[in-house]
Copies of this chain bind each other. A is one copy, B any other.
Amino acid sequence: MSSISIIGTGNMAKAIGAASLKGGNTVEILGRDPGKAAALARALGDGATAGTWGATPTGDIVILAVLFPAAVPVVTEYGDALADKIVIDITNPFSADVTGLVVPDDTSGAQLIAEAAPASTHVVKGFNTLFQPIVASGRAVDVFLAGDDPQAKASVSAFITSLGLRPRDAGGLNMARWLEGAGLLEVNLARNGVGFDFSLGVNVGEPK
């Protein structure tokens, strides 16, 4: 069981919040608009609460479920309130035409978020490769992760497992750029009508 705080009141906040509660975790919703946060907490039910914007989140794991343009500003605004927290960055820093990333070529949204956060905050990239309908569907799929702190990744992996999803470790936070690129690929594949299944060949049999 993990204690989860979700910064954001949009579709991903709703889908991850509902899945988190179903998985037996506690959920706190944080929104700049207290009314929206309270409304989402009510809609989620099952003990979900609305927290105070900018105050230290109650969750050990904080899910940053805002659009990328808001991500670094929000983390900067929260500042020390995120000290010692695990922050899951689910954002996709797509360019307007969704063929590239808006972040510099030698970094990633997740790394920029880590730079904006306190030194004691552990940022883990994850969920950006999952479309909201997939999270909402409850289908067991893989959640790719990237992060530098093994303990933080272990905590996030336990949380992901509680959702009935499969944590998949892609390596250090320097791999976050490629996870953001994978999100970009998915959107472009989807534009061409594609849903897919592929395998690394580690499990060549039917997906577990």
- CB of B189 within 8 A of CB of A170, answer yes
A11 at the interface (CB under 8 A from B): no
Copies in the complex: 2
| Bound Cα distance from A144 to B182, whole angstroms | 12
Which residues of chain B are within 8 angstroms of A50 by Cβ–Cβ distance?
none
| Bound Cα distance from A203 to B207, whole angstroms | 15
Number of interface residues of A (CB under 8 A): 49
| Bound Cα distance from A197 to B106, whole angstroms | 29
A32 at the interface (CB under 8 A from B): no
A201 at the interface (CB under 8 A from B): yes
Chain B nearest CB, measured from A203 CB (Å): 3
- CB of A185 within 8 A of CB of B175, answer yes
Known: A170-B185, A175-B185, A181-B182. A199 touches B191 (CB 8 A): no
| Bound Cα distance from A58 to B99, whole angstroms | 35
Which residues of chain B are within 8 angstroms of A142 by Cβ–Cβ distance?
194, 196-198
Which residues of chain B are within 8 angstroms of A197 by Cβ–Cβ distance?
141-142, 197-199, 207-208
A120 at the interface (CB under 8 A from B): no
| Bound Cα distance from A193 to B168, whole angstroms | 9
Chain-B contact segment, one of A23-31, A39-47, A130-138: A130-138
Instruction: Name A's B-contacting residues (CB within 8 A).
Output: 99-100, 105-106, 129-131, 133-134, 137, 139, 141-142, 144, 166, 168-172, 174-175, 177-179, 181-182, 184-186, 188-204, 207-208
